Structures are given as structure tokens and as C-alpha cells.
Amino acid sequence: MRFRPLRPASAPDSTPVAVADPPETMRAAVIDAAGGTDALHEATIPVPSPVLSELLVRVVAAGVNPIDAKTRAGAGVSGAITGYPTSLGYDFSGIVVRSPYESHPLPPGTQVFGMVPFPRSGGTYAEYAVVPSQSVARKPASLSHVEAAGVPLAALTAWGLVVETAHAHEGQRVLIHAGSGGVGHFAVQFAAYFGAHVTATGSARNASWLRELGASVVIDYTTTRFEDVIADVDVVIDLVGNVHAQTGDRSLKVVRPGGLYIVVPTGSFPGYADAAADTGVRATGYKVIPDGSALATVGRLLESGAVQVYIDRVFDLEDAAAAHAELEQGHTRGKIVLRVSDD
Ligand SMILES: NC(=O)c1ccc[n+]([C@@H]2O[C@H](COP(=O)([O-])OP(=O)(O)OC[C@H]3O[C@@H](n4cnc5c(N)ncnc54)[C@H](OP(=O)(O)O)[C@@H]3O)[C@@H](O)[C@H]2O)c1
């Protein structure tokens, strides 16, 4: 897993796909107001119009992320919703339909994956989306659109945590909570790839899989209190916070003095900065950045086989409510993806 050389560039998908002019309306999964999973329903809404440097993409598949469910329920980034009905969803894989100008490097027909602006209100649970051209990369040829749609938000979060914030390196001791989820399964792989010694928490059913991804140690959070078996780690990447069994407070006890604690779910550990200061630990939150350049690097790692995306379940667009119900169980392995349209 460590520094495995990348295969010579079998390039990302560069073969353009034929595209038709977009229609005026499209199918989307929308909400008319905040609510439970049944608030999410299929509707016909206008196809959005790109401006300036935006692309119009035809969405083939969209990732389903916890922030979508939080926003649907009236939390998350629901404050950014400017009107109803509104679609949800931040990441996608699909095909460019309109580019900003004639010789743009991502012309119509290019197969891309990426994110719409975050933390705005989303919109990839729909047949078309407008996307900043800086927030996409060419889809790796080795991945289907369904696989690629599971990558952008989760992998960019993991990249920002492991590479840009924790500066993962050989011998660094990293503890990753919820290593088997969407963000976690990328974080485990990136940290191991850069030579860190990775401990992940997860339930027993995911233990051997987490080791395959690169975790040296797996702690079953359902039977073992991690602070009983681990100490003096350099970095904790906390994808749980105090929403379960005071994971945040307990994590501060296992970081070495001067080490780093990163809490990821927004609002999951109020007061974490003061609590960390009291224990001599550096601490920060983190927000994903829709960075197409970092996504292109992640794409190369996927293309080379050094990193993999795991798709747990695929739902059709009209079953978006069922996808949210599944996600809200809290036990997704890897990613849930919506199939929006044909390739
Ligand atoms: N700030 C940001 O920019 C940002 C970006 C992305 C995500 N997030 C947040 O980060 C969190 C994780 O996101 P995600 O997409 O990775 O979620 P996810 O895919 O839904 O996570 C599911 C995984 O969590 C594991 N899990 C549940 N409770 C656990 C516990 N107490 N200890 C250890 N593992 C546990 C489950 O493993 P088992 O099945 O084995 O229980 C499951 O594999 C969410 O709250 C999300 O909103 C924030």
C-alpha cells in the first residue's frame, strides 16, 4: 500500500461521448420543505443554466452523503436553501453538456466527476447540474460512473484531513474513527499510502476489510473502549465526535502532548477547542473544499489501483428517500450512490 508506484498513465477518460442539447426540464429528487426521508420525492424542475466559468453536466450518478440527510431534515446547510422545491446532493459523475467557451479544456462530451459548490444547497440529485469548472476532474477510465460518483465529497474530505491538515508521513501514528464509512475508507487508504501507522475504529464485521485497506490495527468500538488499548497517537481524525459515547472527549485522552485532534462532523463536539487546550492538544475542525485539482490527484491514485472506492448500495433516483433511510442507519460501508440516468 505504501508509495506503490503509479502505473504509467492509462489516461482518464478522454474519449468524448456524444451529447444532445439539454431539454428545458428534468427529473430530480427534491424537497418542498425540511422533513423526514419521505420529504424527498421525484419532481420535474427546470434544467439550470450555467454562467461564466460553470459547466452544465448531465449527471449519470450522484453520491449520497450524510450532509444531504442533515440538510433535508432542516439542519446541515439548510440555511443556504434559497427556495423550494430544491434538489440535494453535492457530488456526481457525468458528462459535460456545455462548456464556458469553445476551446475549453473540458469540452462537451468529456466524462467528469466532481462537486457543486459546498456549503451551498446542492443539486446533483438531478439529471443536470451546473458545476464550477474548477471543481471537477476527468473521470478515471477504470471507474464506472456509479463508482466515480462515490468519490468526490468523501475522498476530498479525506484528502484534506489526511494530506493537507495532518500531513501524513512515514511512521505517523493516526487514529481514524469510523474508518469504514465514506470518508473513513478513503482516509485509511490515504494515510497508509503515505506510510502512516493507521488504527481505525469500526465494528467487527468491517475489521478484516479495514486491514485490507491499510489499517494496522482495528478497534471494535462496540466491545472495546479505544482509550483502554491505544495512547500517544500523533493525530486523531474524528468522524464521530461526541454524538456517540463521547468519542470526542475520549479521543483527546489518547493524543500525545502537542499532537493534533481533528473533529469533522460540524457541531458534533461543541467546546472541543477549549477541551483540547486544557489537555495540551492542538485541535481543529475541517470543511471539505471542492478542489478539482486535488480530485485529479485522487483520480490518479484510483486509476493506479493504489486506492479504491467501495460502493455499498446503489439506488435509482426515484428511490432517493430509501437511500436516505439506509444512510441514516449509520452503518454504510463505503458509499451509497444514486443512479440518475443512463451512461
Ligand atoms: N466537515 C465536512 O466537510 C464533512 C465532510 C464529509 C463528512 N462529514 C461528516 O463526517 C461524518 C462521517 O461522514 P461519512 O460520509 O464517512 O459517514 P458514513 O459513511 O455514514 O459513516 C458510516 C460508518 O460509520 C461507522 N460508525 C458509526 N458509528 C461509529 C462509531 N461510534 N465508531 C466508529 N465507527 C462508527 C459505521 O461503521 P459500522 O457499520 O461498523 O458501525 C459506518 O461504516 C458525518 O457526520 C458527515 O456529515 C463532514
Q: What separation in angstroms does the CA of 308 have from each of 113, 239, 300, 304? A: 15, 19, 11, 9
Which residue has the CA at smallest separation from atom 44 of ligand 1? 265
Ligand 1 in reach of 66 Cβ (< 6 A) = yes
Cell numbers that stand for 331 in this block = 452503518
Which residue has the CA at smallest separation from atom 1 of ligand 1? 287
Q: How many residues does the chain have?
A: 343
Ligand 1 closest atom vs CA 66: 47
| Cell 477510465 found at | 141
Mean pLDDT, 10 residues at a time, the chain of 343 residues: 46 74 97 98 98 96 98 96 96 97 95 95 96 97 97 98 98 98 98 98 98 98 98 98 97 98 97 97 98 98 97 98 98 98 92
Phi, psi angle pair for 328, to nearest 5°: -70, -10
Ligand 1 in reach of 287 Cβ (< 6 A) = yes
Complete domains list, the chain, with CATH: 25-151+309-339 (3.90.180.10), 154-285 (3.40.50.720)
The pLDDT of residue 112: 98
Is-contact 334 213, C-beta < 8 A? no
The pLDDT of residue 6: 46
Distance 104 CA to ligand 1 centre (A): 37
Residue in 304, 302, 309, 315 with CA at minimum distance from that of residue 335: 309
> How many Cα atoms occupy the beta-carbon half-sphere of 113 within 13 Å?
34
Q: In terms of DSSP bridges, do strands 91-98 and 335-339 run parallel, antiparallel, or are they unpaired?
A: unpaired
Ligand 1 closest atom vs CA 335: 19
Ligand 1 closest atom vs CA 76: 47
pTM for this structure? 0.96
Residue in 33, 55, 52, 171 with CA at minimum distance from that of residue 110: 55
Phi, psi angle pair for 297, to nearest 5°: -65, -45
Q: Does the N-terminal peptide bond of residue 290 adopt cis geometry, omega within 30 degrees of 0? A: no
Is-contact 207 217, C-beta < 8 A? no
The pLDDT of residue 121: 84
Ligand 1 closest atom vs CA 179: 34
Distance 154 CA to ligand 1 centre (A): 10
**Burial class of residue 296 in the structure, from the number of CB atoms within 10 Å of its CB (0-12 exposed, 13-18 middle, 19+ buried):** middle
The pLDDT of residue 14: 55
Residue in 335, 330, 300, 308 with CA at minimum distance from that of residue 8: 300
Who's near 271: CB < 8 A, 6+ residues apart? none
Which residue has the CA at smallest separation from atom 36 of ligand 1? 331
Distance 8 CA to ligand 1 centre (A): 34
The pLDDT of residue 188: 98
Ligand 1 in reach of 181 Cβ (< 6 A) = yes
How far apart, in whole angstroms, are the C-alpha atoms of residue 20 and residue 186? 35
Q: Tell me the best of 70, 209, 331 to mutate to test the pocket of ligand 1, counting ligand atoms within 8 Å of each CB and taking the most.
A: 331
Distance 180 CA to ligand 1 centre (A): 8
In three-state secondary structure terms, 54 is strand
Which residue has the CA at smallest separation from atom 13 of ligand 1? 183
Q: What separation in angstroms does the CA of 215 have from each of 165, 209, 211, 236, 267? A: 19, 9, 5, 14, 27
